[in-house]
Amino acid sequence: MSATPNTQQGFERLAGLSYLNPAAPEPWASFVEQIERVRPYLGSLERWIETLKHPKRTLIVDVPIERDDGTVAHYEGYRVQHNLSRGPGKGGVRFHPDVTLNEVMALAGWMTIKNAAVGLPFGGAKGGIRVDPSSVSKGELQRITRRYTSEIGIIIGPDKDIPAPDVGTNAMTMAVMMDTFSMNRGGTATGVVTGKPIALGGSLGRQEATGRGVFITAREAARHLQIPIEGARVVVQG
């Protein structure tokens, strides 16, 4: 069977990355396409295009836990450090049954671009576990989080890579990650994650930050386009 045009494009975009499935190239292929789109405007910086198309470090880990009924379950986890040229990696951890390496790589790449665009001294990273948090008990979820943290502990840290909450995770998840990393290191390391509870060194306003950012962006876009906000309808996609 010959490849469809979309599949063929996927093969081309993923050339050189043997560990990705060319039959399901998204969303990494979209990230690569965006990078290619700005190539004509980069001038002497064009030579770094290929670097952005090759993540610095990709870690896939097995996350085994003992379930409440005594059986052993295994979950697949990821941590991708796309680029650390500007500083420690920064990016969330998502717990979702449909998490894939393609997705985590793309999100790590976008974190690289976002941090650079606003001048933050961080690189781009992202992580995730293929698990539905609603399908496990609170104790099982904590054991999953601890084992995952221990497995990726070799590449994270305040001066290496700093995880944050994302889809399916929250301040409690970050507290467990911080506690696990600290125990393994032998000392408290509050800087290993962001999005922690306030009592553990978290930042005021962190929980509302994403929604506030969407609001401010929409407000400024409306001003730019001269669209009255009062009575306007909004669609949020992404």
**Residue 131 above 90 pLDDT?**
yes
pLDDT at 3: 42
Number of neighbours of residue 62 by Cβ within 10 angstroms: 11
pLDDT at site 14: 59
Q: Exposed, middle or buried: residue 131 (CB in 10 Å: 0-12, 13-18, 19+)?
A: buried
Catalytic residue, from 53, 56, 114, 126: name it. 126
Which of 127, 129, 130, 210 shows the shortest CA–CA distance to 162? 127
Whether 126 is catalytic is yes
**1-16 pLDDT tens trace:** 444 445 455 445 555 6
Nearest partner of 92 among 69, 64, 111, 67, judged by Cα:
111
| Distance, CA of 150 to CA of 63 (rounded, Å) | 9
- Residue 114, classed as helix, strand or coil, is helix
Q: 71-126 pLDDT, tens per residue?
A: 999 999 999 999 999 999 999 999 999 999 999 999 999 999 999 999 999 999 99
Query: Rounded to 5 degrees, what are φ and ψ at 55?
Result: -55, 140
Q: What number of CA atoms fall less than 13 Å from residue 24's CA on the CB side?
A: 9
Query: What crossing angle do the helices spanning 171-185 and 138-152 adopt, rounded to 10°?
Result: 50
Of 27-36, 64-73, 179-188, 202-211, least confident by mean pLDDT is: 202-211
pLDDT value of residue 1? 41
Cα–chain-centroid distance for residue 49? 21
- Output the average pLDDT for the chain: 92
Report the C-alpha gap between 105 and 114 in whole angstroms.
14
| Ranges assigned E (strand) in the chain | 57-66, 72-83, 89-95, 123-129, 161-165
Contacts of 84 (CB under 8 A, 6+ apart): 56, 123, 125, 160, 161
The per-residue pLDDT for 4 is 46
Number of H helices, E strands in the chain: 7, 5
Confidence of residue 232 (pLDDT cuts 50, 70, 90): confident
